[in-house]
Chains A and B, each alone.
Chain A
């Protein structure tokens, strides 16, 4: 038995976050840890990683008591933690990142200098282990997210870990890159390294894990070998009830009136000759790999980035040079992928966040004075209709909300502008299942009230459940189109991947 947790408890103040968890892990075993946000996954892993210490219970590593008091202590004992947010320094080289805390040293006239040659040799070896063929002198900022992930793993390997904890490692990876990562995971497993894998992506979990542990409200509600648990079972264990109506049917069909028409849209290096349309009350999904040009297309439509040629018509009117302010006037809304950096004012309260995009509508007179009463009333209505959970609309910074509730705040901001066209870029990324379902419900309500939605997602399940049409993009082009009941999982996946290998780089 490599790792053994017995009756682990952890409380913060009076709140008990972990209520007696017992788990075990053997060499070369992969344990998947799933659960909704707030179920206690991170807390449990932070206990293992030395960030917190347990309030009660017993942890054993190789039969000895294990009680790390810092992340470094955990690392020394052989437990590596790869966080969702990579802990790399993009301004330094790969090799420097690998050895940031223990550079190989040579002595020169009493000075401890970095031994560049040894560092290079060891870096090359570590990179080889993760299958990354890049010179170690290259700066990390020049790497793709997937390559950075590999560097992070190489860094973990440098400490010769017995256990690696992965926290949502695939969120910023394309399908293809994720598969490469999984190959590496299996290689590590073959070497006898045990892994704990945390993810919201249940398909991945099912693919990788030997055993699956489900946490809910700080308790271990299910622990079984993978063969004994299917995806439905996982969802049920996580949420605690049957989720038959995960994607409720919409009460309306798409209108035949055209809302958006895009002709031959090209931005060199990003998207090429895009032709598509969107009707009123229609939900059109965009599927593709990361980097296929979906987000870029959305940013161009909304006016964040420029395009070279092509025409965009909204309600039959040609949009010359889109910019965000005009787009909002044209009743567009854009929920971007990066909620913290582009969606929220983290230090401000819900009121200020939600009213932001509609502010000018609440102002009047030459000084553009704001009618706070009207703004306040509409904001609290909208926030409530978005089912956001909070203590106070004013006085509570949104940084204190959970990821799902933060996303609902961003959504509420756009709902307040009463958009005709809502562009959603990965709206449920990193959000737990309960909040996901509520967001799906909101999208349906919105469409029923007359809006159209352009939905970009990397979760095929989501697109299949919500969309009237799905367009697939690959390398900046639309490569396939599917219309509702004719959705074909395999054909969609193939369209997203196929073109990739066919087209030669130019």
Chain B
């Protein structure tokens, strides 16, 4: 009985991991083609773009901010890099330029948030609009097809590891180290708990916020390039609602929308994998494509619900403890 309760508690604590396993298990029961190594690698490849984006988003969420503009940033990055490559610029120039565009987005957000003290929700809502408009303007609302060379990067392997997964791995490890092993990372958590307190404690709040939005923009750009290398084209709806998926992935991984709580490894990674596993599984079992968003929506709802209930019981436990 005691063991059972302990297991239940453990499962609730790691609800996202348990759910990921449950999703993997149920799809593998529904289709023999799901739980095979080639498909699992597929899931990894497919989720790499979202995961990278969500990693950047996690930084922002940890400071109690939000970045609604990443989808638009991705779109602009895609359009710019597409245009550049088509116009004959070598990839070695196009890629750094694309990354710079992403960071520029972050810098603009940071400027309004840090210098003018407008709340992140409004700032990034505005850059969401402006960015999407800008992208449409540059692309003249036409899809841009990229040359083969770009696609080849996407399907290439290094040491047997597919390029997108490799990039994800590098970003993941770097981000994890920055967050948990550097002064910058720990101060991000401090700011997320209370930025006024952080300022009083002498933490360079403004500089860190700028850094965080730069990281988010950079991740958006990297994530976009990874996706581009797989898709080979930029459509006018490219990156649309990606910001919501990235936020969902981070929150599923346990990052709080109110700042100061959460992590990238395993949190955000598991969140992104979970979303992608569902999408992939639905394809593998030949589900009605119209059902994808319905199922995804329900699963996210379920996880957020479990997470909230867990917080409720945790609060109760904490109260008992202090009184005893």
Indicate yes or no for A touching B, C-beta below 8 A. Answer: yes
B197 with A87: CB separation less than 8 A:
yes
New contact pairs (15) apart from A89-B260, A92-B190, CB-CB < 8 Å: A71-B200, A87-B197, A89-B197, A91-B260, A92-B193, A96-B186, A100-B201, A101-B203, A105-B183, A111-B177, A112-B182, A269-B323, A269-B324, A270-B323, A291-B323
For the complex, what is the distance from the CA of A476 to the CA of B323, rounded to whole Å? 9
- What is the 8 Å Cβ interface bit string for chain A, positions 97-120, against chain B (1 contact, 0 not)? 000110101000001111000000
Q: Is A417 an interface residue (CB 8 A)?
A: no
For the complex, what is the distance from the CA of A71 to the CA of B203, rounded to whole Å? 11
CB distance from A356 to the nearest CB of B (A): 25
Q: Is B192 an interface residue (CB 8 A)?
A: yes
Q: Is B320 an interface residue (CB 8 A)?
A: yes
CB distance from B137 to the nearest CB of A (A): 40
B interface: dominant SS: helix
Instruction: Give the residues from 42 to 100 in chain B that come closer than 8 angstroms, CB to CB, to chain A.
Output: none
From B183, B318, B324, give the contact of A103 (CB < 8 A): B183
B323 with A100: CB separation less than 8 A:
no
Can you list 9 A-B contacts with CB-CB less than 8 angstroms, sorted by A residue number?
A: A75-B202, A87-B201, A89-B197, A90-B193, A103-B183, A114-B182, A270-B320, A291-B323, A296-B323
Residues of chain A with a CB closer than 8 A to B186's CB: 92, 96, 100, 103, 114
CB distance from B58 to the nearest CB of A (A): 15
Residues of chain B with a CB closer than 8 A to A293's CB: 323
For the complex, what is the distance from the CA of A141 to the CA of B322, rounded to whole Å? 11
- What is the 8 Å Cβ interface bit string for chain B, positions 308-320, against chain A (1 contact, 0 not)? 0000000000101
Residues of chain B with a CB closer than 8 A to A88's CB: 197
Residues of chain A with a CB closer than 8 A to B160's CB: none
For the complex, what is the distance from the CA of A87 to the CA of B200, rounded to whole Å? 8
For the complex, what is the distance from the CA of A90 to the CA of B258, rounded to whole Å? 14
Q: Is A144 an interface residue (CB 8 A)?
A: yes
Residues of chain A with a CB closer than 8 A to B197's CB: 87-89
Of all chain A residues, which has the CB nearest B187?
A: A100
For the complex, what is the distance from the CA of A76 to the CA of B178, rounded to whole Å? 28
From A71, A91, A105, A113, give the contact of B193 (CB < 8 A): A91
Residues of chain A with a CB closer than 8 A to B201's CB: 87, 100-101
Instruction: Give the residues from 186 to 209 in chain B that come closer than 8 angstroms, CB to CB, to chain A.
Output: 186-187, 189-190, 192-194, 197-198, 200-203
Q: Is B13 an interface residue (CB 8 A)?
A: no
Q: Is B181 an interface residue (CB 8 A)?
A: yes
Residues of chain A with a CB closer than 8 A to B202's CB: 70-72, 75, 101
Residues of chain B with a CB closer than 8 A to A111's CB: 177, 182
- What is the 8 Å Cβ interface bit string for chain B, positions 281-324, against chain A (1 contact, 0 not)? 00000000000000000000000000000000000001010111
A113 with B182: CB separation less than 8 A:
yes
CB distance from B173 to the nearest CB of A (A): 12
CB distance from A178 to the nearest CB of B (A): 17
Most buried by B among A89, A112, A476: A89
For the complex, what is the distance from the CA of A112 to the CA of B187, rounded to whole Å? 14
Q: Is B261 an interface residue (CB 8 A)?
A: yes
From B183, B261, B320, B322, give the contact of A144 (CB < 8 A): B322
A interface: dominant SS: loop
For the complex, what is the distance from the CA of A418 to the CA of B183, rounded to whole Å? 55
From A75, A100, A113, give the contact of B177 (CB < 8 A): A113
- What is the 8 Å Cβ interface bit string for chain A, positions 141-178, against chain B (1 contact, 0 not)? 10010000000000000000000000000000000000
Q: What are the 3 A-B residue pairs with the smallest beta carbon separation, nearest first?
A: A103-B183, A91-B260, A72-B202
Of all chain A residues, which has the CB nearest B197?
A: A87
A92 with B182: CB separation less than 8 A:
no
Instruction: Give the residues from 253 to 269 in chain A that come closer than 8 angstroms, CB to CB, to chain B.
Output: 269
Residues of chain A with a CB closer than 8 A to B194's CB: 89
Residues of chain A with a CB closer than 8 A to B187's CB: 100-101
Residues of chain A with a CB closer than 8 A to B182's CB: 111-114
- What is the 8 Å Cβ interface bit string for chain A, positions 293-311, against chain B (1 contact, 0 not)? 1001000000000000000
From A89, A113, A476, give the contact of B181 (CB < 8 A): A113
Residues of chain B with a CB closer than 8 A to A101's CB: 187, 201-203
- What is the 8 Å Cβ interface bit string for chain A, positions 54-72, against chain B (1 contact, 0 not)? 0000000000000000111
CB distance from B258 to the nearest CB of A (A): 11
Residues of chain A with a CB closer than 8 A to B190's CB: 89, 91-92, 100
From A89, A90, A291, give the contact of B322 (CB < 8 A): A291
A114 with B189: CB separation less than 8 A:
no
Residues of chain A with a CB closer than 8 A to B193's CB: 89-92
Given the interface pairs A71-B202, A111-B182, A291-B322, the reply to whether A89 lies near B177 with Cβ below 8 Å is no
Of all chain B residues, which has the CB nearest A155?
A: B201
A89 with B323: CB separation less than 8 A:
no
For the complex, what is the distance from the CA of A296 to the CA of B319, rounded to whole Å? 10
Residues of chain A with a CB closer than 8 A to B323's CB: 269-270, 291, 293, 296, 476
For the complex, what is the distance from the CA of A70 to the CA of B199, rounded to whole Å? 11
For the complex, what is the distance from the CA of A100 to the CA of B323, rounded to whole Å? 29
For the complex, what is the distance from the CA of A270 to the CA of B324, rounded to whole Å? 7
B189 with A91: CB separation less than 8 A:
yes
Residues of chain B with a CB closer than 8 A to A476's CB: 323
Residues of chain B with a CB closer than 8 A to A141's CB: 318
For the complex, what is the distance from the CA of A476 to the CA of B320, rounded to whole Å? 12
Of all chain B residues, which has the CB nearest A103?
A: B183
CB distance from A96 to the nearest CB of B (A): 5
CB distance from A262 to the nearest CB of B (A): 19
- What is the 8 Å Cβ interface bit string for chain A, positions 209-226, against chain B (1 contact, 0 not)? 000000000000000000
For the complex, what is the distance from the CA of A270 to the CA of B260, rounded to whole Å? 30
Of all chain A residues, which has the CB nearest B186?
A: A96
Residues of chain A with a CB closer than 8 A to B203's CB: 100-101
From A71, A91, A112, A113, give the contact of B261 (CB < 8 A): A91
Of all chain A residues, which has the CB nearest B203?
A: A101
From B181, B200, B260, B322, give the contact of A114 (CB < 8 A): B181
Residues of chain A with a CB closer than 8 A to B261's CB: 91
For the complex, what is the distance from the CA of A150 to the CA of B11, rounded to whole Å? 35
Residues of chain A with a CB closer than 8 A to B200's CB: 71, 87
Residues of chain B with a CB closer than 8 A to A114's CB: 181-183, 186
Residues of chain B with a CB closer than 8 A to A72's CB: 202
For the complex, what is the distance from the CA of A291 to the CA of B323, rounded to whole Å? 6
